[in-house]
Amino acid sequence: MSALRFAFEGVIGGYGSAEVVRGVDGAIAAGEVLCVIGRNGVGKTTLIKLLSGFLPCWHGRVLLDGRSIEGVAAAARRSLGITYCPQERPVFDDLSVRDNLTLMRAARDLGDFAPYFERFPILARRLRQPGGTLSGGEKKILSFVRGLAEAQPLALLDEPSEGVQWENVLHMEALIAERKARGAAFVLVEQNLAFAERVADRYLVMDQGRVVLKGARAEIDRAQLLTHLHV
Amino acid sequence: MDPLLITQLVNVAYGVSVLALLALGLAIVFGLLGVLNLAHGEFVMIGAYCAWLVQGWHWPFLAAVPLALAVCGGLGLLVERVLVRPLYQRPFDTLVATWGLSLLLRKSAEAIFGLDYRSLDVPLAGTVDFLGATYPLYRLVLIAVSVVLLAALLLWYARSRTGTRIRAMVGNIELAQALGIPVRRLAAGTFTVGSALAGLGGVMVAPLVTVQPFMGLDYVLQSFFVLVVGGLGSALGLLSGAAVIGGINSVVSAAVNNTYGYFTVLITAILFLWLRPRGIHARG
Amino acid sequence: MDQQHSPLRRKVLQAAAGVAALGLAPGALRSVLAAGKEFKIGLFIPLSGPASLFGPTDKACAELAADEVNKAGGILGRKVVIIPADAGGPPAESAKSAVRLMLEEKVDMFVGSHDSATREALVSTIKGKVPYIYTPVYEGGECAFNVYCLGETPAQQVQPSIGWLTANRKTKSYFLIGDDYVWPRKTNEQAKRYIAADGGKVTAEEYVPYGAPNKFEEVVTRIKSVKPDAVLITLVGADNINFNRTFAGFGLDKDILRLSLLLEENTLQGIGAESSKNLYSCMGYFANIKSARNEAFKKAYAAKFGDKAPQLSTIGVDCYAGVHCAKALVTKAHGESARKLMAASQGLRFETAAGTATMRGRQVDKDMYLAECEGTEFKVVKTFKNVPSGSACKA
Amino acid sequence: MREASVGAAALLLLPLAIGDYWSYQLSLYFLYAIAALGIGLCWGRGGFLPLGQATFFGLSAYLSGLALIAFEGSAWLVLLLPLAALASGLLAYGIGVLVFRARGESGPYFSMITLALSLLAYQVANSWDSVTGGFNGLKGIPGLPGLDGFTAAYYVAAVALLSSLAFTSWLLAAPLGVLWGALAQNERRAVLFGFNTNQLKAVAFGVSGLLAGLGGALYAPQQGLVTPQLCGFLLSADLVVWTAVGGRTRVLGPVIGALAIGALSSELRARVQFWEVLIALLFIAVVLRLPQGIVGLLAPLERRLGRRRHRGQGLEAPPHLEPRQAPRLVVDATSAHVGEVHILDRLSLELDRPGIYCIIGPNGAGKTSTFNLLTGELAASLGRVLLDGVDLTGLAPHRIARLGVGRKLQIPTVFPELTIADNLSIALWSGRATRMDLLRPRLKRWSNPILAELRQRYGFLDDTERKAAELSHGESQILELTMALVAEPRLLLLDEPCAGLSPEETAGVIDVIRWASRRLGATIVVIEHDMSLVKELADTVYVLHNGTRLARGSVAEIQADPTVRAVYVGGEK
C-alpha cells in the first residue's frame, strides 16, 4: 500500500443554511490517528460528514493523495479506500449481525473476522440476531468491526466508543493500533478523553465550527485540552 | 381418483400459481423496495397488450416476453426516476401518486388501443390428459412457468446478496452509501425489474382473459393481499401468500361458489392482516 | 368522443337547418325552424368506466336519429339537439348531471343507456318532471311516472329462445350462471318458468360476485360434472368473455350449448372465434340482420360516420330508437305534459334500426332475433315477430 | 376566530350567488368533504391512513336510508339519523381497538385491512338484496321532513360541514389532538409517558368513522338513493386522494381537496373526453410539488396572520391519579429472551429504599434489557417483577408508566415536530390527565414547581414555541430529561443520560439527577459506563454480566470485588 496522505483545507459546510463548520484544515499520513475533539455541538460530526461526503462542502477541498475528492459521491468514496462509521444508526437494524458484516462481500463466510470475534465474543454469539436487537454499545462494536474489517487505508470513525464499556474500548484501541501498524490512517471523533489520549497521534480541537487547537499528542497535554472542553 | 376432483385440484394449483405470477413484480417493488405501487395492475395490463400486439404482427407468442420486459421495464425506469424517487421517504404519498399513475396508464391505453375487448388465440390450445383428467394444456404450462419463476426467485434470494443489499438500503440509506452501495442505481434497477416482471405476468395471462384497459384493477389489490398475507421480502412469503389467497379462493369456489370464494378471501385477508403481524413468512 | 365528433355534428346540424331554410322542409314548418327554439335531448351514455365501450356507438346512433328527425322537420317544428352526459360514473354523479341539464340546459327529454342503478338514480332525481326514455336491455318492470323503456325484457329474450332451443336443439337441462345483481336474477326467474313450461329442468343456478376479479375454472369444472344440455349465461362484459373463453378452453364447447343473454358484437369480438362454437344470443338487433330497413339504416350510418364509425350493436341502436321514440311521442301527444305523453305512449309506433316497434304500457313489443355465433359473426337462425314485453305499466 | 365566522357566513350566503345547480352540486361534495375531514385527522395528525372510509359512509347511508323509509316524516328521525352516523363511529372505534391492540403499528397493514373491509362491504351491499336493494340500490328514500328543494339540501350539508369543521379543529387543538400528533412522531415515547396510544389511535379512527358516517347519513335523504358504490374502493380512494391533494396536515385541506377536485371532475366529466388524465396529472403534480397540498400554498399567508398561541396564566398541575409514595421494586429471578438468545438470566434486584442506583456491566450484559423489562417492553419468560407487591410482568407498558415508572431513553427521544411547550405539557399530563381532561384546552397551561426550577437551570426551555427538532443533541438530551422529571415518577430509569455530552454538560446533568432524587424522593436507576460518574452518583451499584447479577454494593465495594475486576474495568474521562 502506498503511503496515503489525507488532507482537508478550509472546509466549510453545514445543514440547510446553517453554517456549522467554518473553515477547518487538517491532514494525516498513513499510520496516523487524528482525534477530533470538542464540546457537544461544535461541529465534529458535521466535519466528518463533510469528509465522508454525506454533506456537501460549501468551500474548501478534501484531498486524498493530492487528488481533490469533495465532488465524489459518498457511495463512491469507499472504492477510493475510505471507510466511514457513522455515530447514529451505525448498523442495519433488520439485517442479522452476519449480514451486517458480510453485506458487501461475495460470500457469507466469516473467516477474516476471527481476530475480531476473539476480542468481541459477544458478536460471535449474536450472529443470527437482527442488528436492531443489539444494545447501543453492541451496535457500536458491530459497526466498528465492520468498518475495520474493510481493511481500507483510511477510516473515518464517529464516536466509536459511545456507550461501549471500557474493556471493549481497550480492545478497539488495540485493533486500531494493529491497523495503524499496517499503514492505515484514522480520523476519529471522540467524546471519551481517556480513549482519545490513548489512540491519538494528533489532536484537532474544535469550538464553534473552528479549530482552536491542533498538534501532535506530545505537544498537547490534558490541561490544554480541558480548557477548550470547558466553557 | 375421481377425474373431476383431480381437475378441481389442478384448478387450485392453477389459481395459486397464476396469482403468484401476477404478484411477482409487486413482490419486488413492494416486498423488497417498499414502494406501494398502486399502478402494478396497469403494468400487468401493458404486458398483456404487448402480447396482443405481437399476435397482431403475426410474431410468435413468445416474442411478447422480451417485448413486455423491455416496454414495462423501460416504463418502470422512467416512473422510478420521475415519480417514485422523490417519494421514497413518504410511502403514503407514493400511494396517491401511483394511484394517479394508474389512472394515467389506463387512460393512455384507452387512447392507444381503444376500449374494445381484445382476445388472443391461446398458444398450445386444446386439452391434454393429466392424471386421468383432461385439462387445458396452456394452463398447465402456465403453472410450470410460475413454478420455475418462483424457484428462480427463491434461489436468487438465497444466493445473491442483492436482495439483502436492497433491504439494507431501504432500512438505512446513509449507512448503505457508507458501505459503497450505489443506492440510486440499485433502487432504480429494483423498480425496473419489478415492473418488467409485472409485464411478464401480463403476457402470461393475456391468452386466458380479455385484454382491456381496465383489467389491471382486478390484479393490483389481490397482489397486495398476497404479499401482506404471505410476508414481505421473501419468495416463500410470496408463495405462501398466493397459496392462502389463491388456494382458499379456488377451494371455496370449487366447493361452494365464487361469491363465497371471494368473501372468504377478503375475510381471510383481514384476519391474517390483523392477527399475523408480519405475515406467514416474516423476513430477516 | 366529444372532441372528434362535435364539430362534425355541428356541421350536420347547420346543414340541416340550411336545407330547411332553403325550403325543402314543409312550408308550414319553415318559419318555426327559422325561429328555431331547439328541442333539447339530454343523452345519458357511459363516457367513462368500463361500460364506456358502448358510449361512442350510443352517441353516433342518437346523432344519426337526430339528423333524420331534423331533416323531417324536427319535433313539432323544433330542431332536435343532443346534449350528451356521462352515465359511466357513480349514480350520484349522473344525478348531478341530470340536475344540471334540467336547470341550466332546460332539456325537454332524457334518453338514457346505462345500468339500472343509474336509472334508479335518474328516476329519483328527475321525478317525472321531464320525460325519460330508458333504452337498453334490462330486467323489466320499470313503471315510474313519465318513464318509458325500450329495451329487451327477460320475457322477450328468454321465452322464445328457450322454446326454440328445446324444440330444435333438444335441450332439456340447463345450467344457469350469472353475475350477482338484479338483471341476471330477474332474467333467471323468468328462464326457470319457461324451462319448466317446456318440460326442461334447471340442474344448477349460480352467481359470481359482480365487479370482483372472477375466475371461472371451478364453475366450468362443475358444469362439466353435471353435464347439462345447455348453459344459460347472464354474465356481462369481461365476466361474460372470460367465462366463455374458459368454457371453450376446457373443451366443453363441443357438446354443451350456450345461450348468452347479453352478447352483442363487441363482447363476441372479445370471446373470439376460437371460443364461440355452439354459442347463441337472443337480442332485438344484430348488425347483420337481413332486412331492407336495417340495410337502409346501416347505409345512413356509414354515410354519416364513414369507416371510422364505431361498431354497431343492439345497445347502440336502441339510442337511435330512443330519439325516434321521443319524436313520435311528443308529436302524437301534441305537447310535453306528462299526462299527455303517458296517454300517447299507449300503442305508439316508432322507427327502430330493425323495423318498427310498438309501445304498450310504456314498454315495447318488438321483433326478437335468435342468432348462432359463427366465428365473430352472428348468424340469425330465427326471428320472432312482435314479442310482448311481458311487463306493462298503466298509462 | 374572526376569519372563521366570516368564512361561515360566506358559505351560508353562497347559494344566492351561485344558483340552484351549483348549490346542489356543492351540497353533495360538502358531504364527501365531511368524510375527507376524518381521513385528514387520522392521516395528517394520527399518522395512519384509513383506505376504506367508504365503508362507514356507505353503512350510515344505508342505515339512514332505511330509517327514512321506515319512519317517513316522523319526528324520530331527528334522533335516528345521528344514530346512523354514530353506528359507523362505534364500528370504526371497535375495529380500531381490535386492530391496533393486535398490531400496534400504523403502517400499510392497517390501511390494507380498512381497504379489504370496504371491498367486503361493497359485496355485501351488492348481494344482500332483501335489505340493501342490491345493485340497484335502496330507492325511494324520502328527503328530510320539511326540507326539500336544492337550497334546503345545500343548507343542511353546509351546516353539517361547518359543525364538523368546528368539531375537528376543536379536537385537534385539545390535548387529545396534541397527543395524536405526538404518537404519530414517536409512539414509544408516548407509551412510556403512560398514554394508551392504541386506544388514542382507535379514538381517532372512531372520530373519522363518525364523520364519514355523518356524511353518509345525510347523503341518503339528499340523493334519495343509496347504491353499493358508496361502500366501494373507488369512493374510498377518491376520499384519500382529495385529502392528499387538499392537504392533510391542515383542517381545511381535505375540505378544499374534496370541493376542488370533486367539482372539477364532475365539470370536466361531461365536457372533456380524457378528463381523468388531467385529474391524474393534477394528483401527481401536487404530490410531487406541494407535499403540503393545496392549502400548503396558503402557508405564507397563514404566517402573516398567525399570531403566537397565548397559553395564558400557568395552572398548577393536579396531583397524580395514582397515589405517589417511595416505591419498593423487586426483580425476582427473572429471565427473558429474544428469539433463542437469552438476554436476562434469573436476574434479581432489590431497590428497597429511595436513592440513586447505578447499573454497570459489559456491553450485552442486559442493562438496557433490564429497563425494557421494568417498563414492560420486554416480556419475562420466568420470574416476577414486583412494584410495591404488584406484579408488573404482563402489564402493558402504559399501565406500568401510570404506576409512576418514568424512563429516559439512550438516544434522546422527544417529539421533534412539537414545540418545547407541547413536549413539556405531554410530560405534565402523564399520569395526571383523565380521559375527559384530554378534551380540555386549559391543560396546555399546566405547570409545576419542578418545571419552574428546571427552567431556572436551562434557559432554552423558556423558548416555548420553538420546535424540538431545532434543538442540538445536548439540548434534546436535557429536554427529554426534563420531561422525564416533570412527570414526577416514583421510579425513574435513566439510560446513559450523559451519552454524547461534553464534560461541562455532563457535570450539569449529574447535578440535576442528584437534585431530582432529593426533590422527588424518588428511586432513580442510572445505566452508566463512566465510573467517574458512577462514583459521583451511586448510593448503590449493581453489576450485570451475561444477563444476570454479578455483584451489588457501594462503589468502593464493587471496585474491590475481584469477580467484578475480572470482567469489568471502569474507564475514566
Say yes or no to pLDDT of C35 above 80.
Answer: no
Q: Is D325 or A174 the better-scoring residue by pLDDT? A: A174
Say yes or no to pLDDT of B266 above 80.
Answer: yes
Residue D9 lies inside a defined structural domain of this protein = no
Nearest to B177 among A75, A94, A99 (CB): A75
Angle at B46 between CA B44 and CA B52, to 5 degrees: 110
What does the pLDDT read at residue D439?
Answer: 85
Q: Which residues of B touch A130 (CB under 8 A)?
A: 284
Give CA D77 to chain center in angstroms: 35
Q: Does B132 touch chain D (CB under 8 A)?
A: no
Residue B278 lies inside a defined structural domain of this protein = no
Specify the 3-state DSSP secondary structure of A151.
coil
Residue written as cell 337472443?
Answer: C282
Q: Do the chains contact at D273 and C104, CB–CB below 8 Å?
A: no
Instruction: Find the domain containing B69 and state its range.
Output: 3-219
Which whole number is the average pLDDT over A157-176? 90
Supply the angle between the helices B3-26 and C217-226 in degrees, to the nearest 10: 170
Q: What are the residues facing D526 on neighbouring strands?
A: D358, D494
Interface of B with D in 159-198 (CB under 8 A): none
Nearest to A41 among D340, D474, D573 (CB): D474
Instruction: Find the domain containing D500 and state its range.
Output: 329-567
Q: What is the C-alpha to C-alpha distance for residues D121 and B234, in angstroms, rounded to an integer?
A: 31
Cβ(B253)–Cβ(B242) under 8 Å?
no
Q: Do the chains contact at D279 and B103, CB–CB below 8 Å?
A: yes
What does the pLDDT read at residue C395?
Answer: 60
Say yes or no to pLDDT of A156 above 90.
Answer: yes
Say yes or no to pLDDT of B95 above 90.
Answer: no
Going by their DSSP bridges, the two strands C230-234 and C173-179 should be labelled as: parallel
Cβ(A167)–Cβ(A194) under 8 Å?
no
Say yes or no to pLDDT of C34 above 50.
Answer: no
Residue written as cell 361469491?
Answer: B259
Q: Which residues of C touch D134 (CB under 8 A)?
A: 181-182
pLDDT interval class at A185 (50, 70, 90): very high
Phi first, then psi: what are they for D505, rounded to 5°? -60, -40
Which residues are CB-contacts of B114 (< 8 A; sequence separation ≥ 6)?
none
Q: What is the C-alpha to C-alpha distance for residues C281 and B165, in angstroms, rounded to an integer?
A: 58
Which whole number is the average pLDDT over C60-84? 91
Mean pLDDT over the full length of chain C: 86
Q: What architecture is domain C154-283? A: 3-Layer(aba) Sandwich (3.40)
Q: What is the C-alpha to C-alpha distance for residues D233 and D115, in angstroms, rounded to an integer?
A: 7
Give CA D145 to chain center in angstroms: 40
Say yes or no to pLDDT of B169 above 60.
Answer: yes
Burial per residue of D18-43, b for 16 or more beta-carbon CB atoms within 10 angstroms, e otherwise: eebbbbbbbbbbbbbbbbbbbbbbbb
- C-alpha cell read off for D191: 407509551
What does the pLDDT read at residue A66?
Answer: 87
Q: Which residues of D touch B273 (CB under 8 A)?
A: 109, 112-113, 116
Q: Summarize pLDDT for D204-225 with one digit per residue, the tens.
A: 999 999 999 999 999 998 888 8
Q: Indicate which of D277, D279, D294 best probes the interface with B, i.e. most B CBs within 10 Å of its own CB.
A: D277
Q: Which residues of A touch B284 (CB under 8 A)?
A: 94-96, 130
What does the pLDDT read at residue D573?
Answer: 37
What letter would DSSP give residue D320?
P
Cβ(C45)–Cβ(C54) under 8 Å?
yes
Mean pLDDT over the full length of chain D: 86
Q: What are the residues facing C379 on neighbouring strands?
A: C372
Residue B239 lies inside a defined structural domain of this protein = no
- C-alpha cell read off for C140: 323489466
Which residue, of D182, D211, D231, is where some domain finishes? D231
Q: Do the chains contact at B167 and A75, CB–CB below 8 Å?
A: no
Percent of chain C with pLDDT over 90: 52
pLDDT interval class at C31 (50, 70, 90): very low
Q: Summarize pLDDT for C256-315 with one digit per residue, the tens.
A: 999 999 999 989 999 999 899 999 999 999 998 888 899 999 999 999 998 888 889 899
Q: Do the chains contact at A106 and B161, CB–CB below 8 Å?
A: yes
Q: Do the chains contact at D43 and B92, CB–CB below 8 Å?
A: yes
Nearest to D116 among B101, B103, B266 (CB): B266
Q: Summarize pLDDT for D298-312 with one digit per residue, the tens.
A: 777 766 665 555 556
As for how many domains chain B has, the answer is: 1
What CA–CA distances, in Å, run from D330 to C13, D369, D398, D541? 94, 16, 19, 15
What does the pLDDT read at residue D41?
Answer: 94
Which whole number is the average pLDDT over A144-169? 91
Give CA D349 to chain center in angstroms: 34
Q: Which residues of B touch A106 (CB under 8 A)?
A: 161
Min Cα–Cα distance to chain D from A219, Å: 20
* Helix or strand holding residue D373 (H, E): helix D367-374
Residue written as cell 424522593?
Answer: D521
Say yes or no to pLDDT of D412 above 70.
Answer: yes
Q: Summarize pLDDT for B32-65 with one digit per residue, the tens.
A: 888 989 999 999 999 999 999 999 999 999 999 9
Q: Indicate which of A48, A52, A88, A95 best probes the interface with B, i.e. most B CBs within 10 Å of its own CB.
A: A95
Q: Which residues of D touch C96 (CB under 8 A)?
A: 24-25, 28, 266
Mean pLDDT: which of A7-11, D139-143, D262-266 is highest? A7-11
Which whole number is the average pLDDT over D314-340? 80
What does the pLDDT read at residue D61?
Answer: 95
Q: Do the chains contact at A129 and D411, CB–CB below 8 Å?
A: no
Q: What is the C-alpha to C-alpha distance for residues D527 and D540, in angstroms, rounded to an integer?
A: 12
Q: What is the C-alpha to C-alpha distance for residues D546 and D553, in angstroms, rounded to an integer?
A: 19
Same domain, D343 and D201: no
Q: What are the residues facing C83 on neighbouring strands?
A: C42
Min Cα–Cα distance to chain B from D44, Å: 11
**Cα distance between the two ends of chain D:** 56
Supply the angle between the helices D54-70 and D2-40 in degrees, to the nearest 10: 100
- C-alpha cell read off for D357: 442506583
What letter would DSSP give residue D411?
S
Residue written as cell 344470443?
Answer: C281
Which residue, of D193, D215, D231, is where some domain finishes? D231
Q: Is D567 or C153 the better-scoring residue by pLDDT? A: C153
Min Cα–Cα distance to chain B from A1, Å: 21
Say yes or no to pLDDT of A116 above 90.
Answer: yes
Min Cα–Cα distance to chain B from D438, Å: 28
Q: Do the chains contact at B116 and C53, CB–CB below 8 Å?
A: yes
Q: Does C246 touch chain B (CB under 8 A)?
A: yes
Encoded amino acid at D206, one letter: G
- C-alpha cell read off for D427: 410530560
How big is the A-B interface in CB pairs under 8 Å?
68
Cβ(C190)–Cβ(C159) under 8 Å?
yes
Going by their DSSP bridges, the two strands D355-360 and D540-545 should be labelled as: parallel
Q: Do the chains contact at A75 and B174, CB–CB below 8 Å?
A: no
* Residue from D218, D291, D214 nearest D253 by CA: D291
Cβ(D534)–Cβ(D570) under 8 Å?
yes
Which residues are CB-contacts of C316 (< 8 A; sequence separation ≥ 6)?
C54, C57, C58, C60, C61, C113, C310
What does the pLDDT read at residue D4?
Answer: 75
Q: What is the C-alpha to C-alpha distance for residues A13 and C73, in angstroms, rounded to an integer?
A: 82
Q: Which residues of B touch D117 (CB under 8 A)?
A: 270
Enumerate neighbours of D (3 or more CB pairs within 8 A).
A, B, C
What does the pLDDT read at residue D103?
Answer: 66
Q: Which residues of C touch B208 (CB under 8 A)?
A: 242, 245-246, 249
pLDDT interval class at B16 (50, 70, 90): very high
The answer to whether chain A touches chain C by having 3 or more C-beta pairs less than 8 angstroms apart is: no
As for how many domains chain D has, the answer is: 2
Q: How many CA atoms lie within 13 A of B13 on its CB side?
A: 16
Say yes or no to pLDDT of C6 above 60.
Answer: no
Residue of chain D whose alpha carbon sits nearest to that of A196: D573
Which residue, of D231, D250, D266, is where some domain finishes? D231
Same domain, D341 and D213: no
Which residues are CB-contacts of D536 (< 8 A; sequence separation ≥ 6)?
D510, D514
Which residues are CB-contacts of D200 (< 8 A; sequence separation ≥ 6)?
D46, D176, D179, D180, D183, D190
Residue written as cell 365539470?
Answer: D267
Say yes or no to pLDDT of D93 above 80.
Answer: yes
pLDDT interval class at B284 (50, 70, 90): very low
Mean pLDDT over the full length of chain B: 89
Residue written as cell 370449487?
Answer: B254
What does the pLDDT read at residue C2?
Answer: 40
Residue D305 lies inside a defined structural domain of this protein = no
Cβ(A26)–Cβ(A192) under 8 Å?
no
Q: Which residues of B touch D202 (CB under 8 A)?
A: none
Supply the angle between the helices C55-71 and C292-305 in degrees, to the nearest 10: 100
- Which runs of E-coded beta strand occur in D446-501? 446-447, 491-495
CATH number among 3.40.50.1240, 3.20.20.70, 3.40.630.40, 3.40.50.300, domain A5-229: 3.40.50.300
Q: Indicate which of D28, D129, D135, D231 best probes the interface with C, i.e. most C CBs within 10 Å of its own CB.
A: D135
Say yes or no to pLDDT of A1 above 80.
Answer: no
Angle at C236 between CA C230 and CA C240, to 5 degrees: 55
- C-alpha cell read off for D352: 428497597
Q: What is the C-alpha to C-alpha distance for residues D358 and D354, in angstroms, rounded to an integer?
A: 13
What does the pLDDT read at residue D340?
Answer: 65
CATH number of the structural domain C2-152+289-365: 3.40.50.2300
Say yes or no to pLDDT of C1 above 70.
Answer: no
Q: Summarize pLDDT for C147-204 with one digit per residue, the tens.
A: 999 999 999 999 899 999 999 999 999 999 999 888 899 899 989 999 999 889 999 9
Q: Does B127 touch chain C (CB under 8 A)?
A: yes
Lowest pLDDT segment from A192-196, D146-150, D490-494, D528-532: D146-150
Going by their DSSP bridges, the two strands D540-545 and D548-553 should be labelled as: antiparallel
Which whole number is the average pLDDT over D117-125? 91
Q: Do the chains contact at A137 and D529, CB–CB below 8 Å?
A: yes
Domain extents in chain C: 2-152+289-365, 154-283
- Per-residue HEC secondary structure of chain B comes to CCHHHHHHHHHHHHHHHHHHHHHHHHHHHHHHCCCCCCCHHHHHHHHHHHHHHHHHCCCCHHHHHHHHHHHHHHHHHHHHHHHHHHHCCCHHHHHHHHHHHHHHHHHHHHHHHCCCCECCCCCCCCEEEECCEEEEHHHHHHHHHHHHHHHHHHHHHHHCCHHHHHHHHHHCHHHHHHCCCCHHHHHHHHHHHHHHHHHHHHHHHHHHCCECCCHHHHHHHHHHHHHHHHCCCCHHHHHHHHHHHHHHHHHHHHHCCHHHHHHHHHHHHHHHHHHCCCCCCCCC
Which whole number is the average pLDDT over D27-50? 92
Q: Do the chains contact at D569 and A137, CB–CB below 8 Å?
A: no
